[in-house]
Amino acid sequence: MISNLPLLLVNGPNLNLLGVRQPEIYGHETLRDVEVLVADTAQARGFDVRTIQSNHEGVLIDAIHDARQRCSGIVINPGGLTHTSVVLRDALAGVALPVAEVHISDVMAREEFRHHSYVRDVASVHVIGEGVAGYARAVEQLLDLIVKRATA
């Protein structure tokens, strides 16, 4: 049986500045555009979405912990925490939900410090460098995984 629990969309530090911060890298779409795209993509498959963006690591971890029994899966763009946060990785691993990791830019084509992701090994889906549109692909792939697991 497929759970009707919502997805959790997590956006990390500085993603509140989408559309303003380095548009040559991140584009002109805003965080609100991302949230609408994710909600529309999930709704087309019968899922709702809860959203959170914070510049504070602990707030994101609390939201991830809260999702453990309230959500079907997590779509996350951890921002700079991707490369620095073991505790964010541990929170994702600890809730044992399927995770999709999203990055707007191609982090592997950027500075060397961005090449390592603490989230990579706990995420089942990875969408990197596809711009904001990558969020929709991440939702689709995550929902495919959730449905497959529920019907297996």
Please enumerate, by residue number, every residue annotated as part of a binding site for substrate: 77, 83, 90, 104-105, 114
Token pair, residue 126, equals 């990875």
Question: What is the CA 63 to chain-centroid distance, rounded?
Answer: 12
What beta strand segments (E) does the chain contain? 7-11, 49-53, 73-77, 99-103, 125-128
Contact 14, 77 (CB under 8 A): no
Q: Verify whether residue 103 is a known catalytic residue.
A: yes
Please give the DSSP secondary-structure letter assigned to residue 140: H
**Catalytic residue (choose from 103, 115, 118, 126):** 103
Contact 75, 10 (CB under 8 A): yes
How many degrees, rounded to 5, is the angle at CA 3 between CA 62 and CA 152? Answer: 115
Strand 125-128 to strand 99-103: parallel, antiparallel, or no bridges (unpaired)?
parallel
Where in the sequence numbering do the catalytic residues fall? 26, 103
